[in-house]
């Protein structure tokens, strides 16, 4: 963790402490601001984008099976042969002439070789076609995983934003409760001094005030934690947070529509479907191992004596063109085993698709139920606050005329504060549940929440790599031949439509919650 970021997290804690003194925050921001910052700067999301760009390279690597290779080889050899006296003048090479040796029976020689080799695959039996289709499906699956990570980050940002606002409100309520109980203690002490109440009433007020002060410190700590979580996700400390804008424009009208949209656009389900297509293509690749391969090779080689001071041309040249067909005849059962393994992996992926689909539907049911329950809690908590406020005010007035005791007033105040805390928590729970419903449906995306923010295009890098360094013009014909002339053709992955952006995006909420 960098020193700057540690400083920001420490500042989050210190700022939370300052809030306890009711200091006014220095800045104001909306949920749209927080989402835009996280979308551009969140480390987890940035890392996933980099991983996706790395995954794009697998498609290029698979296509190299249709591309030529060019290699160069250079060798230089120097040799020294020393012949003993007894062997000099002897015919060693069998040509009938005694061999000659240099002075002292030492003979030295050197030789150099240089050549280029160009190899072009003509037909891989469908191996490369299957690898390309599998890599393409992997890339599409990776894009859906990127959508899943994006939705997860946005849910966390929304939750951190709502938690911070909830804890800020809770801190305000706790601080107000301390102020009220402080005045209550002062009033009880004054009444005790004139003999209107007993020491018990004063002790009850003191106990409630001490409890309220402890709860206030807990609220300060809770706010510090949520502020730190917010800073971790967004990259900066929260200032004065505006009320959460409505998500109603993205939410369906009934759960059936939510189920339908989730089955079509949930990123986890779509990623698993693409993974199944990738493993299906790898079955064709495993079966293609039974097929022959055909390649052409052109080689040019020069060799001869290395002597830059010799005016004679001592180098010879050879040129060869070769077409090679390789036919696998017997692999000891390795190919058949690989085919069976690929089939079972595809079976597992196909079964997992159904498992993921059920989990997605379960998630929609879970979060939709939480949403409905939270909305009901909001209505109940509003009624509870209204009734508790009337009860607290009435109890205080009745105490003035001797109809209520001090403990009655303290209990009424406690019920009012708890009702206010329940109201704040219910609103937070409703908003987070709505965000989770949208994430499970596949709608919680930056294009729907902050359409003005420049959108990261995961396919841009892929399109750029399509005809990058290494591409040759005859690659496509070779690929068509490889795809068609095989008894085990691999199907290209089937793309899926994207849901059109839904406007108008997050709008500023009213000033009051």
Domain ranges, ordered by start, for the chain: 3-65+127-289+340-484
- Which of 482, 467, 485 has the alpha carbon at shortest distance from 122? 482
**Phi/psi of residue 112, each to 5°?**
-125, 145
DSSP letter for each residue of 208-232: HHHHHHHHHHHHHHHHHHHHHHHHH
| List of residues 6+ apart from 123 with CB closer than 8 A | 292, 293, 294, 478, 481, 482, 485
Per residue in 124-171, pLDDT tens?
989 999 999 999 999 999 999 999 999 999 999 999 999 999 999 999
How far apart (Å, rounded) are the C-alpha atoms in residues 74 and 69? 17
Tens of pLDDT along 47-57? 999 999 999 99
Question: What's the pLDDT at 113?
Answer: 87
pLDDT band at 465 (very low <50, low <70, confident <90, very high): confident
Asked if residues 167 and 226 have their Cβ atoms less than 8 Å apart, the reply is: yes
SS3 298: strand
| Residue bearing tokens 């306890």 | 20
Structure-token pair, residue 12:
């989050």
Q: With 0-12 CB in 10 A as exposed, 13-18 as middle and 19+ as buried, what is 452?
A: exposed
d(CA 240, CA 224): 14
In this prediction, residue 257 carries a pLDDT of 94
CATH 1.20.1600.10 for domain 3-65+127-289+340-484, yes or no, is: yes
Using only C-alpha atoms, what is the Rg of the chain? 39
Query: What are the C-alpha distances in Å from 453 to residues 36, 40, 233, 441, 482?
Result: 6, 9, 17, 22, 44
Average pLDDT over residues 477-497: 84
Angle at 151 between CA 148 and CA 154, to 5 degrees: 150
pTM across the whole model: 0.84
Where is mean pLDDT largest: 14-18, 228-232, 468-472? 228-232
Lowest mean per-residue pLDDT among 124-128, 235-239, 312-316, 434-438: 312-316
DSSP secondary structure letter of residue 25: P
> Is 222 in contact with 212 (CB distance < 8 Å)?
no
Structure-block tokens of residue 420: 């206010």
Share of the chain above pLDDT 70, in %: 87
What is the structure's pLDDT at 456?
A: 93
Cα–Cα distance measured from residue 214 to residue 76, given in angstroms and rounded to the nearest whole number: 85
């Amino acid at each position: 963790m960098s020193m700057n970021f540690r400083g920001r997290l420490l500042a989050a804690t210190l700022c939370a402490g300052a809030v306890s003194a009711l200091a006014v925050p220095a800045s104001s921001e909306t949920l749209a601001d927080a989402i835009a910052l996280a979308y551009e700067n969140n480390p987890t999301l940035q890392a996933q984008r980099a991983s996706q760009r790395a995954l794009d390279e697998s498609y290029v690597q698979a296509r190299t099976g249709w591309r030529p290779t060019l290699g160069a080889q250079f060798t230089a050899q120097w040799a020294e042969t020393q012949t003993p006296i007894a062997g000099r003048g002897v015919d060693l090479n069998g040509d009938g002439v005694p061999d000659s040796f240099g002075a002292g029976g030492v003979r030295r020689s050197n030789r150099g070789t240089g050549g280029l080799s160009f190899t072009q695959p003509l037909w891989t039996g469908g191996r490369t076609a299957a690898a390309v289709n599998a890599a393409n499906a992997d890339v599409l699956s990776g894009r859906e995983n990127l959508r899943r990570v994006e939705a997860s980050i946005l849910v966390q940002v929304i939750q951190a934003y709502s938690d911070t606002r909830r804890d800020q409100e809770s801190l305000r309520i706790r601080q107000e409760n301390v102020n009220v109980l402080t005045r209550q203690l002062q009033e009880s002490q004054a009444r005790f001094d004139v003999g209107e109440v007993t020491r018990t009433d004063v002790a009850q007020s003191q106990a409630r005030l001490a409890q309220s002060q402890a709860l206030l410190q807990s609220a300060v700590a809770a706010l510090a934690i949520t502020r730190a979580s917010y800073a971790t996700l967004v990259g900066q400390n929260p200032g004065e947070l505006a009320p959460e804008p409505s998500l109603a424009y993205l939410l369906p009208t009934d759960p059936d529509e939510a189920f339908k949209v989730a089955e079509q656009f949930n990123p986890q389900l779509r990623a698993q479907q693409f993974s199944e297509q990738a493993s299906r293509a790898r079955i064709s690749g495993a079966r293609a191992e039974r097929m022959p391969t055909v390649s052409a090779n052109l080689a040019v080689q020069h060799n001869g004596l290395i002597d830059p001071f010799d005016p004679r041309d001592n180098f010879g040249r050879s040129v060869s063109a070769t077409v090679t067909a390789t036919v696998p005849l017997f692999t000891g059962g390795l190919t058949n085993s690989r085919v069976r393994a690929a089939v079972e992996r595809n079976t597992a992926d196909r079964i997992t698709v159904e498992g993921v689909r059920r989990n997605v539907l379960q998630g929609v049911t879970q979060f939709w139920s939480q949403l409905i329950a939270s909305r009901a809690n909001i209505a109940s908590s509003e009624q509870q606050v209204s009734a508790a406020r009337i009860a607290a005010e009435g109890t205080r007035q009745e105490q003035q005329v001797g109809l209520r005791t001090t403990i009655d007033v303290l209990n009424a105040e406690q019920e009012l504060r708890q009702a206010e805390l329940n109201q704040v928590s219910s609103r937070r729970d409703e908003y987070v549940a709505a965000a989770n419903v949208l994430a499970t449906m596949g709608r919680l995306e930056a294009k729907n929440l902050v359409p003005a923010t420049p959108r990261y295009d995961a396919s841009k890098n892929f399109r750029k790599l399509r005809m990058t360094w290494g591409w040759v013009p005859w690659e496509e014909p070779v690929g068509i031949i490889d795809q068609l002339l095989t008894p085990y053709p691999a199907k290209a992955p089937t793309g899926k439509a994207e849901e059109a952006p839904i406007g108008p995006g997050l709008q500023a909420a009213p000033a009051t919650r």
